[in-house]
């Protein structure tokens, strides 16, 4: 029995962490976690909607 953490599995907009429990050579449970806050929704608030795509494109 072992618990495994893979951190980070990075993505374009942040980082991904995988924790997995193994038993008898098989994964028996797993958790997926993004370890960075994106917050694009807060960046866009109160902006001109015609500019939204330029910001959102960076996700």
**Binding residues for other proteins (CB under 8 A):** 1-14, 16-20, 22, 25-42, 44-50, 52-53, 56-59
Q: How far is the CB of 26 from other proteins (least distance, A)?
A: 6
Q: How far is the CB of 37 from other proteins (least distance, A)?
A: 5
Q: How far apart are CA 9 and CA 52, in angstroms?
A: 28
Q: How far is the CB of 20 from other proteins (least distance, A)?
A: 6
Burial call 18-36: b when 16+ CB within 10 Å, e when fewer: eeeeeeeeeeeeeeeeeee
């Amino acid at each position: 029995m072992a618990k495994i953490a893979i951190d980070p599995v990075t993505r374009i907009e942040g980082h991904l962490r995988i924790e997995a429990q193994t038993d008898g050579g098989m994964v028996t449970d797993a958790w997926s976690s993004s370890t960075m806050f994106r917050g694009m929704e807060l960046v866009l608030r109160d902006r001109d909607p015609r500019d939204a795509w330029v910001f959102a494109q960076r996700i």
